[in-house]
Amino acid sequence: GAVVSQHPSWVICKSGTSVKIECRSLDFQATTMFWYRQFPKQSLMLMATSNEGSKATYEQGVEKDKFLINHASLTLSTLTVTSAHPEDSSFYICSAQSVSSYNEQFFGPGTRLTVL
Amino acid sequence: AQSVAQPEDQVNVAEGNPLTVKCTYSVSGNPYLFWYVQYPNRGLQFLLKYITGDNLVKGSYGFEAEFNKSQTSFHLKKPSALVSDSALYFCAVRDIAAGNKLTFGGGTRVLVKP
């Protein structure tokens, strides 16, 4: 149980285009999901907290208009990187918080974004 | 604000030898501590957690961790390391007061040599 999927697993796009990454909790409902960014050989950096039916809460230094988050249902949150640039290339990981598992976070497999 | 420190960027150990990955933390309230493992180009896999109770926590794949309140440490251990344990390990602390956010340490790369 407690499986989280991400789609796509990897994506290559041209500079200036937008990319959408989906995060799904497959067998549980998640009112809260988290989006992280990880640069090579570095730790995870929390970008934003996504709450179902409300606006996301962004961490300091993360551009809201650049990284659009939509948490439209209890099993799906999306992260859209708008007008992507090479410096946005990174590994993006989501996690979903399970109320039934004492608010433990379950992580997706990650999405590798490469912007050319 | 809470914080997590993993003082070693990399740990090298021979297969069959004991493995220890160090973690210290700083929190204002009760600590909720976690260990995760990450393989290349993969997400995080949960190993174990400490919420309350026994200071020695047993987790997946033969790993265990000891919570030490006086030293504010939560070191990860495995009695006999395997080559397949080579990966990136993260210690994390949950901030209940901040919506259950996880704060991660910098990570420790473990290399187990045959």
Q: Say whether pLDDT at A100 is over 90.
A: no
Mean pLDDT of the region B95-99: 79
Q: What are phi and psi of A53, to 5 degrees?
A: 80, 5
Least Cα separation, residue B104 to chain A (angstroms)? 7
Banded pLDDT at B100 (limits 50, 70, 90): confident
CB–CB contact A97 B51 (8 Å): no
Least Cα separation, residue A62 to chain B (angstroms)? 16
Banded pLDDT at B35 (limits 50, 70, 90): very high
Q: What are phi and psi of A66, to 5 degrees?
A: -85, -40
Residues of A in contact with B48 (CB under 8 A): none
Number of A–B residue contacts, CB under 8 Å: 49
Q: Say whether pLDDT at A36 is over 80.
A: yes
Task: Supply B63's token pair.
Answer: 């790993």
Could you report the per-residue pLDDT of B3-24, keeping only the tens digit for each? 999 999 999 999 999 999 999 9
Poorest-confidence range of A10-14, A70-74, B89-93? A70-74
Residue closest to A111 by CA, chosen among B90, B87, B88, B41: B41
CB–CB contact A46 B101 (8 Å): yes
